[in-house]
């Protein structure tokens, strides 16, 4: 993993027992993961009693370095040996590596999901509702007398939901379902490869 | 509506009226016809519009021959003229009805669906992924305007969509639906 100089320095302070003793180290590791997982930025995240007596500038640099390192590791899906060798190079003791890695394992799935949700993608279809109506007449044409479907696709785009509404005849609905079934068949074939 | 035209003129006006229903009106044609007949442009204008109205209203209500003739009787034309109008109606009413039904409505209607199966391998924020994803391109029409939507879904939601829409198709085949479809005509 490639890390910038400031991140390396911040992590080296974190590794140093004279800068962070064992309890402070554990607290900062927990706080770093917590600040990434909480949905809102908390300015008071570093206001832990154990961390009060540390040099506050060094504390902030180490916190930034730790969170950057965590995100990079999740992004690259780094395994144990990659993380261990990286931290070893930055003078982390075996014990501290173990503490860090076990906390990482605990939160990795959730962080992965968080990172995967960042980014643009087309709206996702979550559900569909339908209505079958008998169209008798409208303002332009009388004596229509045809059944018609009203379809509503429940879609979600970056948190906000939106409905895609349209009408279709039975033949058109059969066409739509036919195409969706073709897609499902190709998914099944692909999963067997 | 005051029409004192010869039958052949009515035929010509009928053709203009139907062209206008298909393509929209054009004032130049009114001027051309007015010049040929030596009558004011307004008279041509009203005559053609009157014919258009007669044709669209009759088509809208799917009037039978008898009802149509009864309606034009009121205008006090000659029997020959009434027959010309009736022929005009009979020849074109289904076409006029299909034009009317294509007038913009509230909701867009389904036109077609294209789809594509992809597997997402990476994104800017995560480098190693294996996420199967179905991308769909839904084409909708509203009158003459088309709109398209790009949507995505995952394989399990896709199966849910298929089951739900198959149930929708089955709803047309119930005895309840069949009874309604049979009896309201």
Task: Report helix, strand or coil for B150.
Answer: strand
- What residues of chain A lie within 8 A of the CB of B154, using their CB? 124
Single out the residue in A117, A135, A153 at which a domain terminates.
Answer: A117
Model-level pTM greater than 0.90?
Answer: no
In chain A, which residues have their Cβ closer than 8 Å to the Cβ of B152?
121-125
Q: What is the pLDDT of residue B1?
A: 42
In this prediction, residue A149 carries a pLDDT of: 96
The arithmetic mean of pLDDT across residues A39-59, rounded, is 83
Instruction: For residues A84 and A176, state if they share a domain.
Output: no
- Residues of chain B above pLDDT 90, percent: 29
Does the structure show a pLDDT above 80 at B103?
Answer: no
Helix (H) or strand (E) run with residue B164 in it: helix B155-171
Residues A15 and A99 in one domain: yes
Give the pLDDT of residue B24.
79
Q: Residue B62 in 3-state DSSP?
A: coil
* Same-domain pairing of A27 and A61: yes
**What's the whole-number mean pLDDT along residues B89-109?**
83
In this structure, are A23 and A42 located in the same domain?
Answer: yes
- Total tally of structural domains belonging to chain A: 2
Same domain, residue pair A85 and A131: no
- A175 part of contact set with chain B, CB < 8 Å: yes
Count the Cβ atoms, other than its own, within 10 Å of residue B157.
16
Do residues A77 and A167 share a domain?
Answer: no
For an interface test with A, which of B53, B105, B125, B158 has the most A Cβ atoms less than 10 Å from its Cβ? Answer: B125
Is the Cα dihedral A56, A61, A67, A69 positive or negative?
Answer: negative
* Distance between CA atoms of residues B131 and A157, nearest Å: 18
User: Which of A82-86, B29-33, B162-166 is the least confident region?
Assistant: B29-33
Whether residues A22 and A101 share a domain: the answer is yes
pLDDT 10s digits, A97-106: 999 999 999 9
Residue A59, domain extent: 5-117
pLDDT digits over A145-185, tens only? Answer: 889 999 999 999 888 899 999 999 999 999 999 999 999 99
Average pLDDT in the B42-55 region?
85
In terms of domains, do A157 and A98 share one?
A: no
Domain range list for chain B:
2-102, 109-183
pLDDT of residue B6: 61
Which of the residue ranges A57-71, B27-41, B53-67 would you say has the lowest mean pLDDT? B27-41
At residue B31, the pLDDT reads 83
Residue closest to B135 by CA, chosen among B159, B157, B121, B152? B152
pLDDT band (50, 70, 90) for residue B104? low
Q: What is the mean pLDDT of residues A31-35?
A: 90
Q: Looking at the structure, do residues A73 and A151 belong to the same domain, yes or no?
A: no
Residue A54 has pLDDT above 90, yes or no: no
Q: What are A61-100's pLDDT values in tens digits?
A: 999 999 999 999 999 989 999 999 999 999 999 999 999 9
Per cent of chain A over pLDDT 90 is 59
Mean pLDDT of chain B: 86
Residue A58 has pLDDT above 80, yes or no: yes
| Phi–psi pair at A49, nearest 5 degrees | -55, -40
Q: Do B113 and A182 touch (CB under 8 A)?
A: no
- The answer to whether the Cβ–Cβ distance between A124 and B160 falls below 8 Å is no
Domain's final residue, options A117, A137, A162: A117
Is the model's pLDDT at B79 over the cut of 80? yes
Indicate the residue of A145, A177, A181 with minimum beta-carbon distance to B184.
Answer: A145
Residue contact A173–B161, C-beta within 8 A:
no
Confidence of residue B75 (pLDDT cuts 50, 70, 90): confident
Tell if the CB–CB gap between A128 and B161 is shorter than 8 Å.
yes
Q: Which pLDDT value is given to residue A120? A: 82
Contact assessment for residue A67 and residue A32, using Cβ atoms and an 8 Å cutoff: yes
Whether residues A37 and A99 fall in one domain: yes
Structure-block tokens of residue A76: 């690259």
Closest CA to B133 of B146, B148, B151: B151
Q: What is the mean pLDDT of residues B47-53?
A: 86
Last residue in a domain, options A117, A142, A173: A117
């Amino acid at each position: 993993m490639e890390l910038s100089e400031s991140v390396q320095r911040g992590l080296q302070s974190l590794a140093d027992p004279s800068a962070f003793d064992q309890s402070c180290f554990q607290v900062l590791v927990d706080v770093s993961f917590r600040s990434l997982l909480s949905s809102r930025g908390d300015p008071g995240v570093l206001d832990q009693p154990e961390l009060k007596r540390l040099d506050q500038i060094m504390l902030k640099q180490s916190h930034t370095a730790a969170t950057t390192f965590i995100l990079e590791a999740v992004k690259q899906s780094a395994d144990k040996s990659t993380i261990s060798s990286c931290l070893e190079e930055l003078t982390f003791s075996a014990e501290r590596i173990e503490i860090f890695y076990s906390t990482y394992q605990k939160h990795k799935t959730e962080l992965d999901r968080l990172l995967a949700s960042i980014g643009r993608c087309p709206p996702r279809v979550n559900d569909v509702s339908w209505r079958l109506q008998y169209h008798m007449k409208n303002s332009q044409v009388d004596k229509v007398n045809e059944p018609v479907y009203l379809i509503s696709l429940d879609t979600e785009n970056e948190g906000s939901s939106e409905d895609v509404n349209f009408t279709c005849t039975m033949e058109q609905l059969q066409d739509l379902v036919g195409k969706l079934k073709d897609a499902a068949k190709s998914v099944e074939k692909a999963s067997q490869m | 509506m005051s029409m004192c035209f010869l039958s052949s003129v009515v035929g010509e006006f009928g053709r203009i009226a139907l062209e206008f229903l298909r393509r929209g009106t054009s004032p130049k044609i009114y001027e051309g016809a007015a010049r040929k007949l030596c009558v004011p442009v307004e008279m041509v204008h009203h005559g053609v519009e009157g014919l258009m109205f007669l044709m669209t209203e009759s088509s809208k209500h799917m009037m039978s021959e008898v009802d149509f003739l009864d309606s034009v009787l009121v205008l006090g034309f000659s029997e020959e003229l009434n027959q010309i109008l009736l022929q005009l109606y009979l020849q074109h009413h289904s076409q006029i009805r299909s034009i009317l039904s294509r007038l913009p409505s509230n909701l867009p209607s389904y036109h077609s669906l294209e789809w594509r199966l992809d597997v997402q391998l990476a994104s800017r924020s995560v480098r190693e992924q294996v996420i199967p994803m179905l991308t769909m391109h839904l084409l909708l029409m509203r009158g003459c305007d088309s709109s398209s939507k790009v949507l995505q879904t995952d394989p399990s939601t896709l199966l849910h969509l298929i089951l739900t829409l198959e149930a929708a198709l089955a709803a047309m085949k119930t005895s309840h639906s069949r009874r309604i479809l049979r009896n309201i005509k």
